[in-house]
Amino acid sequence: MRPGRTALLAIALCGFAAVPAQAATIDVVMQNLVVKPVEVTAKVGDTIRWDNKDFVAHTATATDKSFDVMLPPGKTGSTVVTKVGTFDYFCKFHPNMKGKVTVTP
């Protein structure tokens, strides 16, 4: 590879590394008292968005209280994950509704 081309490649790689990864939104649907998908994986900075398609209210309440999102009937709610770890959550009104968010760096 010619020197000029190597330099150009180095600049391109540096430029790519300097751009932070785009935060993603991970959608979870609550319908018929079921959380789908039950388990999702996110990276720090991503948004988890729950879409309550039922006619009753739900919550996405972390067992460790790291988030507690109220989801009125037909509404969405979200939280941005900021900590690495595995977070189990449930619905305060329907404790059988459970899900899990795994957050990676």
Residues that bind Cu ion (CB under 5 A): 58, 91, 93-94
Q: Which is nearer to Cu ion, 26 or 57 (CB)?
A: 57
Task: Give min distance, CB of 72 to Cu ion, in A.
Answer: 11
Q: Which is nearer to Cu ion, 63 or 93 (CB)?
A: 93
Block residue for tokens 């059988």 = 96
Measured in whole angstroms, how far is the alpha carbon of residue 8 from the centre of its chain? 36
Task: Give min distance, CB of 102 to Cu ion, in A.
Answer: 22
Going by their DSSP bridges, the two strands 98-104 and 39-43 should be labelled as: parallel
Q: Which is nearer to Cu ion, 91 or 101 (CB)?
A: 91
Q: Which is nearer to Cu ion, 94 or 98 (CB)?
A: 94
Task: Give min distance, CB of 35 to Cu ion, in A.
Answer: 9
Block residue for tokens 């790291």 = 66
Structure tokens at 19: 């751009």
Q: Do the Cβ atoms of 78 and 28 come closer than 8 Å? A: no
- DSSP letter for 33, please: T
Task: Give min distance, CB of 22 to Cu ion, in A.
Answer: 31
